A and B are shown apart, each in its own frame.
Chain A
Amino acid sequence: MPEPDTAVLANRAGIIAALRQAAPDAVIDDPAETRVYECDALSAYRCAPLAVVLPRSTEEVSVVLATCHRLGVPVVPRGAGTSLAGGSMPTADAVVIGLARMNKVLEIAPEDRLVRVQTGRTNLSVTTAVEGQGFFFAPDPSSQLACAIGGNIAMNSGGAHCLKYGVTTNNLLGVRLVLMDGTIVDLGGPSGEGPSLDLLGVVCGAEGQLGIVTEATLRILPKPAGARPVLVAFDSSETAGACVAAIIRSGVLPVAIEFMDGPCIAATEAHSGAGYPDCEALLIIEVEGSDPEIDEQLGLIRAVAQSFDPIEFRESQSEDESRRIWLGRKSAFGAMGQLGDYICLDGTIPVSSLPVVLAEIGVLSKRYGLAVANVFHAGDGNMHPLILYDANTPGELDKAEALGADILRLCVRAGGCLTGEHGVGIEKRDLMREQYSSADLEAQMRVKDVFDPGWLLNAAKVFPLDLSAERKRVARLGVHHAS
């Protein structure tokens, strides 16, 4: 992380006093309490912030940001702190602005198929708010019980069902955004379309660097009549990968296609005993609709799968069987945790490259002498290789990180990308050059220059530090000079 700004650290008392004036009863500065905010779910990296503010309204966010802007204080926005990429990890000179208190539903409009919420609200509770009217909010990150909509927007979160429903950006119609200088602006429109440039589109996924989103208008969809999964087992990962491509090619669009390889299946069986078959790879494919519609889709999927000679094609016949088919997949990460420490990667590849990438990961795994298990959203190519290592063996974390970087490079070479849903954060910022040229990164940083000319908002994330260092230095000089 960059060195903290000494001028800011020296002015700590002044800054806290100004924050208290801006947002009475919302400021936390006791070091014992700010430590709670020293990391997010990427807990290997920690740093307590200078202070934490938990505002209750957009107006309060605006006043707090304007105060930080005036005093040249870096700000780190935080939803529920579930980022896996260090997206809301603070620096010692930063004020964390947490959205936890802003969790109201502002409007439910089933006739317009939208809901408006404050962005501290959790993902799953958006669906809870609208399901009585027969609707749901589609993006379903695995952390949906805990993660906040604000974080979903910052990271453009996805989930298992986005093969059919898309990710956050495809389900976001509008936002109320507070810029670093405190200015409040509404972006988007009732269909997601504003009158000119798609600023909403670039705010979503900008990892909280362009402004703090305090309200979101979300697209909601009518709940399908039902859903049913099948489990298809294969004797090789390559065949399973080829089957995924053939299903997509066949024209039927499942809501989810999940993939687990041998090591992962073994671990989850030991952990949760879901009763998976003994195989090298399996797919969980889920389709939706009324019963006859589900039967029709599954008939087509069965025909495609049979041509790949599966070990087993297990179609759920009951709620309980559906639950058991999903049980192993849903407990996979916990199961792997019991085997030891692991790093979870998040690269995405074109589905057609699945067999070759899986084989290459096997080669890399042997070369580094570290086991890798694979569980991922096969329908959209978003892989989560889990690298197992022993944190107590000196040097092993470094080795695991090096292997992880090699696997991500492999994803990019295969035509994919470094991160499909977790974000860049601090975790992958130094790998950004693997995917983008200097001109590509410069173009992205220009957007930051426009929204946050002082580079105060979550600025240590996303871009390689050396690339952004000079413009940050110039920008900060300007800010300090102005104050």
Chain B
Amino acid sequence: MRPESEAELAALIRQAERPLSITGGATRHQPGEGQGLRLDMTGLQGVTLFEPAALTLVVRAGTSLASVEKMLADEGQMLGFEPACHPGSTIGGVFATNSSGPRRIQLGAARDALLGVRFVDGNGEIISNGGRVMKNVTGYDLVKLMAGSRGRLGALTELSLRTAPVPPASCTLTLPALDAIGAIAALTTALGSPLDVSGAGWLPGAGALLRIEGLSGSVQTRAAELTRLLSGFGEVHVLDSDPWQQLRNGPQNGEGDLWRIVCRPSEAPALLAALPAPEMMDWGGGLILLRLPAGELPELPKFWGHARRVSGAAPAVLPAPDPVTARLEAGLRQRFDPRGIFAGAE
């Protein structure tokens, strides 16, 4: 099913008799998702409004992410939160999964750039929330609730979002000698300084990675200051290549199951010590991506955060969601989708 308009989508959902899987480019499915009848959102395409001078874009959910990024780039703008971009990815999928890359530490996640949504709930009702201005406290913020909800409450049809100017200059520093655990302290030091770091990650072979962006004079000054600040952690080099694309898109497909761990940077060393070497680390140590043999669950020390299996056959989240949160989520799903039409979301 590939509706061409919001009204057509609403009618399809009203008439649906079995679970649907809302799908954009199918580039972000997690274990267990996408098993219902495919509801292809790519028919809902196009830009409704783009105001570069107000940093505002309103776009239909099925629009390809690549075309959105191209249009923004032509105006010297970008999606500040750096979503993962794979061939076929849609802007709806970006927000449905709250896909947020390295610059999240500075400009926030996808949900922080999302100003308004239109969606169709499980009753086939068209619902609008938020708007296209960054300050809006008119009623409940369902925008945040929809961001990252993975189609559990409704099918996003239109998104209004805040764009960001592309920084004129950028510089990446690397400390190649540092392993993942060793990198945490360096990344933390950099992020605790007023140097406005816009990327703080780690890749095997490349070591700790730090990015400074802005006006060119400022970038040079801050890169020099950062080099001085980090001199105690080992040799600091300026990197010629751009590692951030790799951090943004995540690891390539590989053997076993990919796990995504969100934690406090201060708890990352203990987690890393208990696990195999990560494939990458981002957000100053707050995000760890690693691979385990298929079906295996990691043994994790107690920590504030969660680990999720993002590839493989069966879904898994550790620690298990607490019963109160689970009850609230079930209640919301029951009210937004009483017939379980979006059960195909998992």
Contacts and interface: CB of A to CB of B under 8 A. Distances in A.
* A and B held together in a complex: yes
Contacts of A462: 139-140
B194 A185 contact: no
Contacts of A448: 140
Contacts, number: 255
Nearest to A439: B125
Interface in A78-103: none
A167 B108 contact: no
A251 B266 contact: no
A323 to B, nearest CB: 22
Contact of A421 (B54, B137, B147): B137
Contacts of A309: none
B317 A290 contact: no
Given A293-B217, A447-B140, A190 B263 contact: yes
B194 A222 contact: yes
A377 interface: yes
Given A419-B137, A450-B335, A112 B265 contact: yes
A444 B140 contact: yes
B248 interface: no
B138 A417 contact: yes
Interface string B137-164: 1111111110111001100000000001
Nearest to A350: B54
Most B CB within 10 A of own CB, among A185, A193, A250: A193
Contacts of A428: 138
B141 A206 contact: yes
Contacts of A192: 109
Nearest to B330: A450
B145 A296 contact: no
Interface string B320-333: 01101100110110
Interface residues of B, number: 81
Nearest to B333: A197
A23 interface: no
Most B CB within 10 A of own CB, among A155, A419, A428, A443: A443
A350 B115 CA distance: 12
Interface in B280-323: 283, 286-287, 304-306, 308, 317, 321-322
Nearest to A351: B54
Given A245-B53, A440-B129, A167 B217 contact: no
Interface stretch (A40-48, A266-274, A396-404, A430-438): A430-438
Nearest to A295: B217
A350 B132 contact: yes
Interface in B248-296: 262-267, 283, 286-287
A481 interface: no
Contacts of B267: 190
A415 interface: yes
Interface string A162-198: 1000110110000000010001111101111111111
A21 interface: no
Contacts of A183: 324
A233 B224 CA distance: 37
A385 interface: no
A462 B168 CA distance: 43
A424 B140 CA distance: 10
A424 B139 contact: yes
A202 B192 contact: no
Contacts of A442: 125
B132 A415 contact: yes
Contact of A439 (B126, B149, B305, B325): B126
Contacts of B168: 251
B127 interface: yes
Query: For chain A, which range describes its interface: under 10, 10 to 19, 20 to 34, or 35 or more residues?
Result: 35 or more
A225 B266 CA distance: 25
A293 B266 contact: no
B336 interface: yes
Given A158-B135, A443-B142, A113 B192 contact: yes
B343 interface: no
Contacts of A229: none
Contacts of A377: 135
B179 interface: no
B140 A205 contact: yes
A432 B138 contact: yes
Contacts of B133: 348-350, 380-382, 415-417, 420
B134 interface: yes
B170 interface: no
A440 B322 contact: no
B194 A416 contact: no
Interface string A191-221: 1111111111110111000000000000000
Contact of B152 (A155, A197, A436): A197
Task: Give the top 4 A-B pairs by smallest Cβ distance, nearest first.
Answer: A201-B144, A420-B135, A450-B331, A251-B165
Interface of B: 51-56, 76, 98, 104, 108-109, 111-112, 121, 125-129, 131-145, 147-149, 152-153, 164-168, 188, 191-196, 214-215, 217-218, 221-222, 262-267, 283, 286-287, 304-306, 308, 317, 321-322, 324-325, 328-329, 331-332, 335-336
25 contacts: A169-B141, A170-B108, A194-B306, A195-B317, A197-B329, A197-B332, A198-B98, A198-B148, A199-B329, A222-B195, A223-B194, A248-B55, A251-B167, A252-B165, A252-B215, A253-B165, A293-B214, A348-B133, A350-B56, A350-B133, A381-B133, A420-B135, A446-B336, A450-B328, A450-B331
Interface of A: 109-114, 134-135, 155-156, 158, 162, 166-167, 169-170, 179, 183-187, 189-202, 204-206, 222-225, 245-246, 248-253, 289-290, 292-293, 296-297, 300, 348-352, 377, 380-382, 415-424, 428, 432, 435-437, 439-444, 446-451, 462-463
Given A189-B262, A297-B215, A297-B218, 18 more contacts: A111-B266, A156-B141, A166-B108, A187-B325, A190-B267, A199-B325, A246-B53, A250-B165, A292-B221, A415-B131, A417-B133, A420-B133, A424-B139, A436-B129, A444-B142, A446-B336, A450-B331, A451-B328
